[in-house]
Amino acid sequence: MALVLHGKSDAVRYSRSDAWTLRDDLDHLFIHVCSQGGGHLRRAGENRRLNHLDVGIVDLASPLDFVAYASESVSLVLPRSLLSPTTGELDRQHGRILLRDTPVGGLLGQHIVTLCQTAPRLWLHEAVALARVTANLADTCLGIGAVSYPAPTTTSHGGLMRSIRGYIEERLHQPDLAPEEVASAFLISRSQLYRLFETSGGVRHYISRRRLRRALLDICSPALRHRRIGDIAYDLGFRNEAHFSRIFHDAFGSSPRAARAASKRGDAEWLAVASPAPGGNQLEHWLKELMAG
């Protein structure tokens, strides 16, 4: 899934330090379009101007300083796992600006603005389908004319976490995927791995949660409605359909069949279980709940 944000402000500043990126553990690309006004992207001591309708690329896993003035903006947030790892070397996209008067910048920027205008009228199944199209478009545009910006300096912890999450994402279909395999693949101890995923409830919990999120997206996808729910669960490493249904219900408050029926109706009320807890950081919660395709 993707998140589209629309906002207006006289002036705003948003900074992310190394410590902050490690604390919230976000792993998304933030694609920002100033529909009015402009701003600056600062990273690694370099200041880049973002003019009206230019497209700015921000990697939320990397430190940055963003300033916007007298602006109205639209932003697209995509989980890194929705994009190809080889697309213009994603770690080198941070701070890149696609100019509005270039074919790629104009196409992607206009699509994001139009998507924001259209989003309130979309049914759930339409939104899911367009999220995939939008991710594919962003993937293509970022891969065209990618420049060789130096990769941002990050701590070894952040880079290791991104690599491990990518490793897990590519192997969700393996029913025997276990912490021991992950630790061995990255030449770290199990205790080190457990500490890395402590804030995620442990590595086993993280793997289970990612499988369930992927299953939810596939079950609700219009393109996969012809597939049996049991087959979708099997492909994601679940070997017992009854057990899958139970833990799916525990996670989302709905059976897989009811979730599929709700998506056909365009009824998103059952997703209220994923709403932020009172007093929490709502944007951070939404970002962490974005589902990988």
Decide which of 143, 174, 189 is a domain's last residue. Answer: 143
* 196 alpha carbon, distance to own chain's centre: 20
Same domain, 114 and 182: no
User: Considering the domain boundaries, does residue 149 fall inside one?
Assistant: no
28 and 137 belong to one structural domain: yes
Q: Is the residue at 218 inside a domain?
A: yes
| DSSP one-letter string for 223-246 | GGTTS-HHHHHHHTT---HHHHHH
Do 161 and 139 lie in one domain? The reply is: no
Q: Which parts of 5-77 fold into alpha helices (H)?
A: 18-24
**Over the stretch 83-124, which tens digit does the pLDDT of each residue have?**
776 554 666 788 889 999 999 999 999 999 999 999 889 887
Say if residue 15 is in the same domain as residue 72.
Answer: yes
Does one domain contain both 167 and 284? yes
What pLDDT score does 64 carry? 80
CATH number at residue 206: 1.10.10.60
Do 105 and 228 reside in the same domain of the chain? no
Report the number of distinct structural domains present in the chain: 2
Considering the domain boundaries, does residue 266 fall inside one? yes
- Report if residue 84 sits inside a domain: yes
Task: Looking at the structure, tell me whether residues 7 and 138 fall in a common domain.
Answer: yes
Query: What pLDDT score does 70 carry?
Result: 67
Query: Which of 90, 116, 143 delimits the end of a domain?
Result: 143
Is the overall model pTM greater than 0.75, yes or no? no
Better-scored residue on pLDDT, 141 or 11: 141
Pick the last residue of a domain from 95, 113, 143.
Answer: 143
Which domain, by its residues, includes 217?
156-289
For residues 194 and 199, the model is more confident at 194
Query: Does residue 285 sit within a domain?
Result: yes
Percent of the chain with pLDDT over 70: 78
Q: Which of 36-50, 112-126, 234-248, 258-272 shows the lowest per-residue confidence on average (mean pLDDT)?
A: 258-272
Q: Is residue 272 part of a domain?
A: yes
Q: What pLDDT, on the 0 to 100 scale, is given for residue 181?
A: 94
Q: pLDDT tens digit string along 147-190?
A: 544 444 444 566 687 788 888 988 988 988 999 999 999 999 99
Say if residue 169 is in the same domain as residue 258.
Answer: yes
pLDDT at 44: 64
For residue 187, how many other CB atoms are within 10 A of its CB?
7
Q: Are residues 175 and 96 in the same domain?
A: no
**Residues 75 and 174 reside in one and the same domain:** no
Element (H, E) at 169: helix 156-170
Residue 107 is classified by DSSP as H
The pair of structure tokens assigned to 149 is: 């910006």
Backbone dihedral angles phi then psi of residue 7, each to the nearest 5 degrees: -150, 160
Q: Does residue 283 share a domain with residue 201?
A: yes
The CATH number assigned to the domain holding 11 equals 2.60.120.280
Whether residue 106 is contained in a domain is answered as: yes
**Residue 86 falls inside a structural domain:** yes
Task: Specify the higher pLDDT residue, 80 or 191.
Answer: 191
Burial profile 209-247: b = 16 or more Cβ within 10 angstroms, e = fewer: ebbbbbbbbbbbbeeeeeeebeebbbebbbeebeebbee
- Clarify whether residues 86 and 216 are in a common domain: no
